[in-house]
A and B are shown apart, each in its own frame.
Chain A
Amino acid sequence: MHRSKRAETARRTALLRFAIVTAFASLAIATTATAAPCFIFVHGRQGDTGTFTNWNTARDYWRNGSRDFIQTATKNFQASYYVVGYNGTQQWWNSQAAGEVAAEILNATNGGADGGGNTCAQSAAQGGQFWVVAHSMGAVIMDFILGNNDPSDPNYNFNGDYATVASRVSLAVTVGGAHRGSQGADAVCGEHNFFCNAVAFFIDDCNDSAFWLRSSDSVQVRTYANSPARNVWLGGGYEAIFGASACLNGEDDGLVQHASQYACSGSATTSYDNDNVCGNSAKQESSGFRNLDASHENHSDERDDSDRDTRRAVPDGIWTCGGAPCTPGSQVQSSMSSAQLLSIFY
């Protein structure tokens, strides 16, 4: 199929325009490092307490060989960062989960160091800006904290100073977030799903965190929280994992179905594709959830920068084409990881 000369010219113009804008943007970033937000990373569910008891394990969560989500997202550490480690075996609302995450975000925004000595370039008192990046269960924890920051909320300051956390966080970005639970957890916690045993290979057992990450409405964060006080930007993966993905409805990243990654209202297991996943007005809460895009990454790739692959537009997503939102489902990048996507946002 041939593209018209006019279309080709327009494409080149668009590319040039974008390259110039981003070149200027990167120049500005390089010269004003402190203007970049400080990234606070919140990992996902765990089968043991390693990330809670040993900070290096929490840090390694974001690495795969020479690839490092944090290095890429922070543009080789030009932006400052802080890595949270909490007990990922516990329920998302537990004091060692949500409570610990809230306490660590307070520490980070006060200028304190994480277990590796990393600090944000500016504290909240110095006018710092803080972006939380959360993967998988980390997303649910952030929904709970940001959705319970006001005295009128159902679980206000449940086990930490959620109010101050919300007042200091500018926005959150979630990748592979289990906002509406995971059908993978359903398969593991149901003991007799003969066809979905492959999932058990990835979620080792139905511990407290898995029990509270099922797609049953009774264990979902939306049942216990208000709308997030700050925007939660939703990125989803759509690279299947052989075997496991057969047990998830619609597109998925091998462990979490699109209905959950994009925090959709209605059934937590509705089959969605990249081109019809719920838009920004059909989320689990009235406001605060916004779509990014979909990446051809599986649940692991999303948080370790190991797969720089295709990205596709989703309804109400962030990509524009010719001055209008790109058609949902259309390819918008050919080789960009979620970590790389984050790096172009500031």
Chain B
Amino acid sequence: MLGIGTAALVVVLLGSGGGDAPPEPVAAPAPAPAPELADLIVAQAPDPDRRALAELVDGPLDIALASARDYRERARFPRWSHSIADGVDPIERDRFITPGRSMPEDMRPVLVVVPRSANFEAPSPVVFEVRLEASPGVNVGPARLSGEVRDERLERVWTLDLRDDGEGQDRRPDDFVYTASFVPGEDGVPEMKGAYLVEVLAETPEGEPRSATTGFLYSVPLGRLSGRYRERVEGGNLVIECEVEVDEASRFHLEGTLSSADGVPIAWAQSAARLEAGPRWMPLTFFGLSIRASGRDGPYTLRSLALSTTGEMPNQKNEVVHNAFTTRAYPAKYFSAEPYDDPQLIDEAERLEGGASVGALEAEAP
């Protein structure tokens, strides 16, 4: 249904209102009569025609107090390391690839385009798979298929050569999963770094057009993990140092997920530093409580390890290294049970709970 705010939306999104005039102070508009708060809180009876509502609405949660509770819980861990309670590896979660699909999605067959990775690290080839999906798992052959890659300026940098012959990067011939790959030449690698848009066009066997978009990051990092690691326990925390071969001085970010002996992700840690060229060590400190609270004994494994060159956007990301290092067989209780008690989060919780005057102690920012 066409929303009643559509006209306004058009005006705002397309409208002028711009100009180069400097900001002009204006007087605050005269206050209108205050709305009756009670009028806003009208619990509604169930709508029998739509959904059977057997419940009665009490009201909304107090988001300030709920936030304060969250902050007190999160204050147990430092910003640089926390436990993993849901069994989901945060690094794997961040690398999930969203497939590009033609829209509207109820128009079958659906054109699907998926990069093999959300990030390709130079000099790896860039690889895509494209299929025309009649139903999940059932692909059909398109009458026509083409595609191109555009850079951030929307200029075409590469025309896709889509193949289904089982050669090169194509995994199987004649399965209607078409593959395009591109291997940048050595000279072109540095210029290739950045974010890209991919658009694929297809014509169904019935002659209907389809288009789908996706994207990828092409990274030219300035350092890489050498494969050398060392461990120690310090202050009740587990410290795993990872050696980075730095090609050029830059800022680097390292994050890792630790799993227990039975393969369950239990803790995550990150660190960042500016490193000079040459072999350098970066520590990942897994906060003791995050290991101890899991109740799972070692040996622990660096299940996912991700290095990035930061300091510019987009960041240049190395491919994730899996099962990089396994520690000694520490029992979980070997690590500290002490909470971190992040002072900023505790201060904020107190402020939201209404009892704090911490802000009064804070200095003015420059």
For the complex formed, measure the closest distance between the CB of A10 and the CB atoms of chain B, giving whole angstroms.
6
The 9 closest A-B pairs by CB, nearest first: A216-B215, A50-B18, A115-B23, A300-B9, A321-B55, A298-B3, A55-B23, A127-B359, A190-B213
From the candidates A1, A152, A301, A344, name the one contacting B60 in the complex (CB within 8 A): A344
* Number of chain A residues whose Cβ lies closer than 8 Å to a Cβ of chain B: 164
Cβ–Cβ contact B19 & A335, under 8 A: no
**A189-B154, A340-B40 provided; 19 other pairs, C-beta below 8 A?**
A1-B46, A1-B48, A46-B13, A54-B21, A76-B32, A125-B362, A126-B359, A127-B356, A152-B79, A202-B10, A202-B14, A204-B13, A214-B215, A216-B100, A233-B67, A241-B2, A286-B84, A340-B35, A344-B41
Asked if residues B47 and A219 are in contact (CB atoms below 8 Å), the reply is no
16 A–B contacts, CB within 8 A, in A order: A1-B46, A14-B57, A19-B41, A22-B37, A53-B18, A54-B23, A127-B357, A152-B80, A192-B201, A193-B211, A247-B104, A249-B105, A320-B57, A321-B55, A330-B51, A340-B40
**Contact across chains for B213 and A241 when beta carbons are under 8 A apart:** no
Chain A residues with CB below 8 A from B35, complex form: 72, 75-76, 340, 343
B217 interface residue per 8 A CB criterion: yes
Is A307 part of the binding interface, using a Cβ–Cβ cutoff of 8 Å? Answer: yes
Check if B82 is an interface residue, CB within 8 A of chain A.
yes
Within the assembled complex, what's the spacing in Å between the Cα atoms of A320 and B209? 47
B residues in contact with A286, CB < 8 Å: 82, 84, 90, 268
The reply to whether A319 and B59 contact each other, CB–CB distance below 8 Å, is yes
Interface residues of B (CB under 8 A from A): 1-6, 8-10, 12-14, 16-29, 31-35, 37-38, 40-48, 50-64, 66-67, 70-71, 74, 79-80, 82, 84, 86, 88, 90, 93-105, 107, 118-119, 152, 154, 195-197, 199, 201, 209, 211-217, 253, 268, 270-272, 308, 310, 313-315, 317, 344, 348, 351-352, 354, 356-360, 362-366
A201-B10, A299-B9, A341-B60 known; A19 and B100 CB under 8 Å? no
CB distance from A326 to the nearest CB of B (A): 6
Partner of B365, one of A17, A110, A156: A110
Q: Given the complex of chains A and B, what is the CA–CA distance between A22 and B268 in angstroms?
A: 42
Cβ contacts under 8 Å, A57 to chain B: 17-19
Would you give the shortest CB distance from A239 to chain B, in whole angstroms? 5
In the complex, chain A residues whose CB is within 8 Å of the CB of B105: 249, 271
- Once the chains are docked, how many angstroms separate the CA of A150 from the CA of B340? 15
Q: Is the CB of B60 within 8 A of A183?
A: no
Contact B103 A118 (CB under 8 A): no
- Tell me, yes or no, whether A140 is within 8 Å of chain B by CB: no
B203 to chain A, nearest CB (A): 12
Partner of A186 from B29, B152, B213 at Cβ < 8 Å: B213
In the complex, what distance in Å separates the CA atom of A282 from the CA atom of B318?
Answer: 26
Given A49-B18, A219-B215, also A318-B63 (CB < 8 A) = yes
| Distance A75 CA – B214 CA, assembled complex (angstroms) | 43
Complex CA distance for A203 and B12, rounded to whole angstroms: 10
Given A117-B25, A287-B74, A297-B5, the answer on whether A22 and B152 have CB atoms closer than 8 Å is: no
Expressed in whole angstroms, the Cα–Cα distance for A297 and B4 within the complex equals: 9
Any chain B CB within 8 A of the CB of A34? no
A54–B18 contact, CB under 8 A? Answer: yes
**Which residues from chain A contact B119 at a C-beta distance below 8 Å?**
218
Q: Determine whether the beta carbon of A106 is less than 8 Å from that of B103.
A: no
Are A53's CB and B80's CB within 8 A? no
- CB contacts (< 8 Å) of B351 on chain A: these are 127, 129, 170
B69 (CB) vs chain A CBs: closest residue: A231
